[in-house]
């Protein structure tokens, strides 16, 4: 009988599903949600004038955007 070894979360050391591990995740669902929430706090999506929406990951870049487009410093 072959015994299946379940992967362990890198953060809390709890076991999680093998399908999640094979999909490339190293964290359990709970720790992964917490990590994603922290990452989302670091970025913002802002509309640019006569353009598309841009992903802004730097607060100075966000502060430098004006309502007529372009980066103002």
Same-domain status, 9 and 33:
yes
Q: Give pLDDT, residue 54.
A: 82
Same-domain status, 3 and 15:
yes
Same-domain status, 1 and 36:
yes
Q: Give pLDDT, residue 34.
A: 93
73 lies in which domain range? 43-73
Q: Give pLDDT, residue 51.
A: 77
Range 23-51 burial, b when 16+ CB lie within 10 A, else e: eebebbeebbeeeeeeeeeeeeeeebeee
Model pTM greater than 0.85?
A: no
Task: Note down pLDDT in tens along the chain; length 73 residues.
Answer: 556 788 999 999 999 999 999 999 999 999 999 998 888 887 788 887 777 888 888 777 777 776 665 555 5
Q: Give pLDDT, residue 23.
A: 95
Same-domain status, 37 and 48:
no
Same-domain status, 13 and 47:
no
Same-domain status, 5 and 32:
yes
The total number of structural domains in the chain stands at: 2
Same-domain status, 17 and 51:
no
């Amino acid at each position: 009988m072959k015994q299946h070894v379940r992967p362990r979360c890198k953060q809390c050391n709890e076991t999680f599903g093998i399908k999640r591990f094979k999909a490339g995740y190293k964290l359990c669902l709970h720790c992964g949600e917490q990590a994603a929430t922290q990452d989302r706090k670091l970025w913002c999506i802002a509309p640019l004038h006569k353009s598309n929406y841009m992903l802004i990951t730097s607060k100075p870049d966000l502060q430098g955007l004006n309502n007529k487009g372009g980066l103002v410093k």
